[in-house]
């Protein structure tokens, strides 16, 4: 039930609009009266001294949905929300790609660091062939292999080995 609303600072039309928005399709009686201090009141029950019954238009929920301005506004809101969702998904996909690229670069850097350490080892160093045989590298071959992987090392690790 709606309680008596005292109008002191609000305009009566504003209160009436709020009341109209609150009503559903069910018809309700609304009474309006002015007290001895000149204050305008709205209520579902009249005061003991009597009040003017207001004729409110019936609200039809179907007519609200068919209002072209409201429909157009909701379509714009939906398009804006879809645009935000699309942008959010694009950012999420870009961030996922960036994360994958960083992980791959970090893995490549770790692999190159390990290989560089192997090439820098003072003892015999070999490379395992596809057929399982070991090919031992000479000092010149080690230097050539280091020179070959240095650009990839700098690119992946961001620094000189």
Q: What is the pLDDT along the chain (161 residues), one digit of tens a residue?
A: 445 445 444 555 555 555 555 544 445 677 787 888 888 877 777 777 777 777 766 655 555 556 888 999 999 999 988 988 899 899 999 999 999 999 999 999 999 999 999 999 888 998 899 999 999 999 999 999 999 999 999 999 998 88
Measured torsion, CA atoms of residues 138, 139, 142, 144, in degrees rounded to the nearest 10? -100
Alpha helices in the chain (DSSP H): 12-22, 61-66, 68-120, 139-157
pLDDT of residue 16: 53
pTM, rounded to two decimals: 0.47
Closest listed residue to residue 32, CA positions, set 16, 10, 20:
16
Please list, in sequence order, all residues whose beta carbon lies within 8 angstroms of the beta carbon of residue 134, skipping any fewer than 6 positions away.
126, 127, 128
**Around Cβ 131, how many Cβ atoms within 10 Å?**
5
Q: In angstroms, rounded to a whole number, what is the distance separating the alpha carbons of residues 154 and 103?
A: 16
């Amino acid at each position: 039930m709606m309680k008596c609303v005292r109008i002191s600072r609000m305009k009566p039309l504003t209160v009436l609009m709020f009341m109209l928005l609150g009503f559903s399709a069910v018809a309700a009686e609304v009474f309006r009266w002015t007290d001895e201090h000149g204050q305008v009141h709205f209520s579902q029950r009249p005061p003991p001294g009597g009040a003017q019954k207001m004729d409110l238009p019936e609200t039809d929920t179907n007519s609200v949905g068919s209002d072209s301005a409201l429909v157009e506004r909701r379509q714009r809101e939906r398009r804006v929300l879809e645009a935000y969702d699309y942008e959010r998904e694009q950012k999420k996909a870009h961030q996922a790609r960036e994360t994958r690229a960083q992980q791959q670069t970090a893995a490549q850097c770790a692999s190159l660091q390990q290989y560089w350490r192997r090439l820098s080892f003072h003892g015999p160093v070999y490379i395992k062939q596809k057929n399982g045989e070991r090919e031992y590298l000479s000092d010149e071959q080690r230097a050539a292999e280091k020179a070959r992987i240095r650009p990839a090392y700098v690119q992946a690790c961001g620094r000189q080995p």
